[in-house]
Amino acid sequence: MLALNSGGAAGAVVPAVIVFGDSTVDTGNNNQIGTTLRSDFPPYGRDMPGGARATGRFGNGRLPPDFISEALGLPPLVPAYLDPAYGIGDFARGVCFASAGTGVDNATAGVLSVIPLWKEVEYYKEYQLRLRAYAGAERARAIVRGALHVVSIGTNDFLENYYMLGTGRFAEYTVAEFSDFLVAGARRFLSEIHRLGARRVTFAGLTPIGCLPLERAENMIHGGGCIEEYNRVAREYNAKVEAMLGGLRAELPDLRLAYVPVYDTMLDLVTNPAKFGLENVEEGCCATGRFEMGFMCNDEAPMTCADADKFLFWDAFHPTQKVNRIMANHTIDICYQQGLL
C-alpha cells in the first residue's frame, strides 16, 4: 500500500485523472450506447464501496483508474463521460472516455458497436470546450496539462478482432504486421492527445492474454492451460509499444510518458498466486468462470463464488477488484519512478 500512502503529497499537483481505453478502464460509458456489451446489472459491482451497485464497470468493484484517482487525493470513482448523473464540475477532477470492447483499430469497435478510439478523442476535445466554459481558459489548460492520462487498450484488437476472424484483418496482415499497424495507431493517438494538451500519460502493455479464463476454456483440448501463442504475441507487441514510446519521448520532450508493464505483474499473479492471497487464477468468480462475461454473468447464473478476493478474475475476461488495486498500485509506482508524479 506504499503507493496509496504516498499519493497524498502528489494529490495537490495532479488536478484530474483522464482515462482512455477499453473495458479494463471503462467506468460506465457503455451503459449509454446501443451495444450488448455492458455490465450495468448484478452481480457486477456487488463489492462496490458503500454497497452493491452495478455501475457498468466490468468487475465486482472498482477499476484501476478509481484506485489511481483515490491515491492522488482525488475522488475514489472516476465518472464516465456519458453518465448523465455527472457534470463538468465532476469531470474537472476526473473523467473516463473509455468504452468496453474497443481497440486501437477502428474495426475492433465495430464488432460490438462500441465507441472507437477516435471518438474517445472527439469527446476529449468536447470536454475541453466544456472545461474552458466552466473554469476559464487558463484553469482549463492547467487541468489538462496537469492531469494524469491513463490509457489501457489493445487486448480486444487481438482477441475480439484479429483472432475472431470477423473483421478480415487476419487476411490483410500477418500477426506481426497487425501488431505494427496497432503500434502505429497508438502512436498517432498519443501524438494527438499531446497536441491537445496531455503532458502526463501512462500507457499499459498487454497482459498474458492467453491466460484469460476464456482463452483457457478454448484450450481445453490441451488441458486448459494458457495459450502460449497468444502470450508470445502479447510479448512481441509489448516490445514494439515500448520502443515506440521511447521514440515518442525523444520527439516530444515535454511529454512525460510511462509504459506500464502489466504483463509481468499479471504473470506473477498467475504463477505465484499464494503470494497475493489468491486461490484460483484459472477461472472467473462469476458462474462457471470459464466463458461468462457481460449478459452471461448475471444474478441468475449459478455457482458464482462467495469471496472474489480469492480469485484473479471476476468473469472470464476481467480481473477482480483486488487485482485492479494491485495494478493501480503498480501504475502509481511506475509514475513515481519515471517522474510523472
Residues with catalytic annotation? Answer: 23, 315, 318
Q: Is 193 helix (H, G, I), strand (E, B) or coil?
A: helix
Alpha carbon dihedral 115, 188, 328, 224, in 10-degree steps, equals 70
Q: Under DSSP, is residue 135 helix (H, G, I), strand (E, B) or coil?
A: helix
The secondary structure element, H or E, covering residue 138 is helix 137-146
Q: Is residue 102 left, alpha or beta, with left meaning phi > 0 and alpha meaning psi from -120 to 50?
A: beta
Distance CA(126)–CA(179), nearest Å, equals 30
What is the distance between the alpha carbons of residues 327 and 341, in angstroms, rounded to a whole number? 17
CA distances from 229 to 104, 241, 283 (A): 21, 18, 20
C-alpha–C-alpha distance, residues 203 and 193, integer Å = 12
Which are the contacts of 212, defined by CB distance < 8 A and separation ≥ 6?
159, 313, 316, 317
Alpha-carbon Rg for the chain in angstroms: 19
